[in-house]
Amino acid sequence: MPTIIDQPLDELLESLLADATGPLYVIGPSATVIEELVEVGTDVEDPPVIRLLAAESTLKDAVDDFLVAGRAADLVAEDCLTLRTVDSPPGADIVASEADVTALVVAGESAAALSTDDDGFVEHAEGFYADAWADAEAFSLRTPPLSRVRSTLGEDLSPEVERDFDAVLSSLETARGNGDGLDEVTISLLVAAKNEALLYDISKWGEDVGIASKATFSRTKTELEDLGLIDTEKVPIDVGRPRLRLKFGHEKLAGASAEDLAGVARSLMS
């Protein structure tokens, strides 16, 4: 690709994916580049094969965000993305293909692509990064594909729960649960409470799909109860202990749309 100066990072990455011929090696990217690359990769119609090589700590930081991890898992499931790690990646924000080698420079919201298509250098660089890739350790995502999370939520609970879950995710820039946003378990419980679903149903779904264990759902439910965000009522069943129906415990949440749910919840938790 030609050298590009001062372009939004997502547009620059979209151009790189569109122009790629053969496997695309992404070497030593920052967490910011990983996050944008995964989002752009899930949006393009026919992404190339992406071989991403990064420091393990950088990858872990990026996929600590449920939105990033879920999108990355979708690309992995489609055989479009493979993740590997090394202690010290050979390069930083380098994108190499059989056609050219590009260095990415990110400065705030702007980015530049400094590229060369010199045959000798490109051949050498691609071979160098291919060797580094072959020697690297595989990185396994523990997050299920976001598409499977959504579809199973609709199947196991209801289309309304799936719709509200999508609306909450669409309103978020991050889903980390570390002060920057709400994590996936909290989001699931809030959406379940909005639809007055059973704790058993949402926690079983979460464990089956790979979001978190039933124990994690139960513990998070208790934390949200203690904060006054959700409440429960007992629902008798034919055999065994009554199950718990989730409800909102605060009138602000009860009156919030799905699009506003995360913002209202964060304000009540702060």
- Domain-ending residue, one of 115, 138, 161: 138
- The lowest-confidence range among 17-26, 195-204, 210-219 is 17-26
Q: Are residues 225 and 157 in the same domain?
A: yes
Residue 185 belongs to a domain with what CATH number?
Answer: 1.10.10
User: What is the pLDDT, as a whole number, of residue 178?
Assistant: 55
User: What is the pLDDT, as a whole number, of residue 81?
Assistant: 95
Confidence of residue 181 (pLDDT cuts 50, 70, 90): low
User: What is the pLDDT, as a whole number, of residue 18?
Assistant: 86
User: What is the pLDDT, as a whole number, of residue 137?
Assistant: 93
- Domain-ending residue, one of 138, 172, 207: 138
User: What is the pLDDT, as a whole number, of residue 106?
Assistant: 86
Whether the model pTM is above 0.85: yes
Tokens describing residue 196: 């007055």
- The tally of domains found in the chain comes to 2
- The residue type of 237 is I
Residue 36 belongs to a domain with what CATH number?
Answer: 3.30.870.10
Q: Are residues 125 and 12 in the same domain?
A: yes
Q: Are residues 133 and 49 in the same domain?
A: yes
Q: Are residues 191 and 159 in the same domain?
A: yes
Give, in degrees to the nearest 5, the angle at Cα 52 between 47 and 55: 155
Q: Are 137 and 35 in contact (CB under 8 A)?
A: no
pLDDT in tens, 241-258: 788 999 999 999 998 999
Which structural domain, as residue segments, surrounds residue 79? 4-138
- Domain-ending residue, one of 138, 164, 187: 138
Q: Which of 159, 212, 222, 162 is nearest to 184 (CA)?
A: 212
Looking at every residue in the chain, the average pLDDT score rounds to 90
Q: Are residues 14 and 89 in the same domain?
A: yes
Q: Are residues 72 and 198 in the same domain?
A: no
Q: Which of 51, 42, 43 is nearest to 20 (CA)?
A: 51
Average pLDDT on 219-232 reads 94
CA atoms within 13 A on the CB side of 21: 7
Q: Are residues 14 and 120 in the same domain?
A: yes
Q: Which of 136, 138, 156, 44 is nearest to 91 (CA)?
A: 136
Confidence of residue 87 (pLDDT cuts 50, 70, 90): confident
